[in-house]
Structure 1
Amino acid sequence: MIRRWMLVVPFVLASLAVGSDVTFAVYESNVDMILEGQVEVVDPVNPVDPGKPVRPVNPSKPGTPGPLSIDYVSNIYFGKHRIGKETSTFYANLERVVQADDGAEIDVPNYVQVTDNRGNNKGWQLNVKQAGQLKNGNHVLEGAQLTLLNTKLVSPSRGMEPASSQNIRLNPVSGEASEVMYAAENQGTGTWIGRFGKDADEGRSSIRLTVPGDTKKYEGHYSTTLIWELLDSPI
């Protein structure tokens, strides 16, 4: 029996020595990275296929710079129409853009594009207001009603989708702001497009101008301005 114990004990000790790790020193090193909000102006993208950049044929002014920006807003054109005595409804022309990949011109719904690259996920709100009634010199198109319809949201990003208003009736008299898109906390990060109409077909009837029949109408060019306001947090 004594010989057996003398053979077994050295074996156990040897196995413990082989399987153990000995720590001689500990040292900590740092890993750092800084993320900054984007400051360049973001180019417009196709509102139907947002992964593809486009160049508007009749662009508005450049987008706003900074990490929270309005990248692009379509100008609204109603074209030429004859003066009539009845109440009339007119629909805006589609936006015409040039595809960057093949140079082809296509019609897309009118749209607004917003980018949030702040990195704080606080959310934002986009409003629009009409700066007065359509005018032709001193002639005012009294009672004309501009309405934005069928807002559809799309994004090349993977953030959480914000909310949108579907029937935006602008008030040219009070100039009151109307909500277009609303991103709560953790929503609306990256680039988001609000297009008026899901496609070109629906887009043809998604921005309308109604003019009462008894409004005095004079020959000439009528115009007004829309003011788009991007708030850095929802209210």
Structure 2
Amino acid sequence: MMKKVGLTAVGILAITGGNVVVQATTEFPDAGKAESSVRVLIEDDGEVIIPPVDPGDPEPPIDPGNPNLEPGLLDILYVSPLDFGTVVINGEEQVIAAADDVDTAGQSFSPMVTIQDRRADAQRQGWTLTVRYEDDFLDGAEIKMNPYIHSGNQEDFGIDPGGEIALSTNATIFAEAGQVPYARHTVSMGMAQPDQAVQLVIPGEDYASGEYTTTIVWELTDGPLG
């Protein structure tokens, strides 16, 4: 609503030499000033899209359960859980492959992690994705990953894999994008190479029977580490 400008008139009466002189002054508080409101509502497209690991092979579409429904401009959209099933200890070293992930339509796919970077050009300075255990897991055993990033994503977005990883409670680089210019993107990265699997390596030791669990912590950092 436009603000109304008020008007005040003041009359001053002076008597000089029998003549009457009237002097009037007019004041305009806030003269030439008005106010109006401004409003804009910015929304995202409301859709979280999880692309396949291979951008050239988009079928079947990936629709995993429990994606990040309210991601920020730089965020992790989805991470597969890891399930190594049931193992019978036999006194020898065993290498167990993680089961495939399954989406809401029952389609299976290799365990992966998906990130998005939708920052403006001036704000993008790369990113680093690290992975670690929250707590120690199955003392003496190791979970091994070998990050897979499709060559097209490596070239288009400057993303480099961190190489083979043996998880620990210390953060290890899974993948990173450098400071070279790159486009906004959403990228899925395999936790293992196409001809491999995420592995649980159990040494030839005795373990008490029971279920062993831990939490894997993924952290996405703005810019390169160090």
Instruction: Spell out, residue by residue over 1:64-89, the C-alpha distance to the aligned partner (whole angstroms, 9 max, x if none).
Output: 62100100000011111212211211
- Larger helix fraction of residues: 1
- For 1:165 and 1:37, the matched residues in 2 are separated by 35
Partner SS, residue 118 of structure 1: coil
Specify which of 113, 129, 133 is matched with residue 130 of structure 1.
Answer: 133
Q: 5 Å matches for 1:105-124? A: 105-119=106-120, 120-124=123-127
Hey, what's the Cα distance between the residues in 2 that align with 1:161 and 1:193? Answer: 14
Tell whether 2:170 aligns with 1:176: yes
* In 1: Cα distance, 2:162 partner to 2:110 partner: 16
1:181 maps to amino acid: A
**Any unmatched runs of 5+ in structure 1?**
1-35, 135-140
1:209-220 correspondence to structure 2 within 5 Å: 209-214=200-205, 216-220=206-210
Structure 1 equivalent of residue 36 of structure 2: none
Amino acid at match of 1:177: A
2:103 maps to amino acid:
V
CA contact (8 A) 1:95 1:109 kept: yes
TM-fit CA distance, 1:162: 0.9
Instruction: Give the alignment's TM-score, normalised by structure 1.
Output: 0.66
- Equivalenced residues, count: 179
Give the share of equivalent positions with the same residue, in percent: 24
How far did residue 152 of structure 1 move? 2.4
What do residues 179-210 of structure 1 show as CA deviations (whole Å, max 9, x unaligned)? 011111224631112113454xx2xx321111
Question: 1:162–1:187: structure 2 CA closer, same or farther, 3 Å change rule?
Answer: farther
Quick check: 1:206 aligned with 2:212?
Answer: no
Shift in alpha-carbon separation, 1:165–1:41, aligned structure 2, 3 A? farther
Q: Who is 1:25 aligned against?
A: none
C-alpha contact (below 8 Å) 1:155/1:192 kept by paired residues: no
Give the RMSD, CA atoms, in angstroms: 2.9
Taking the aligned partners of 1:111 and 1:226, their CA distance within structure 2 comes to 13
Partner of 2:190: 195
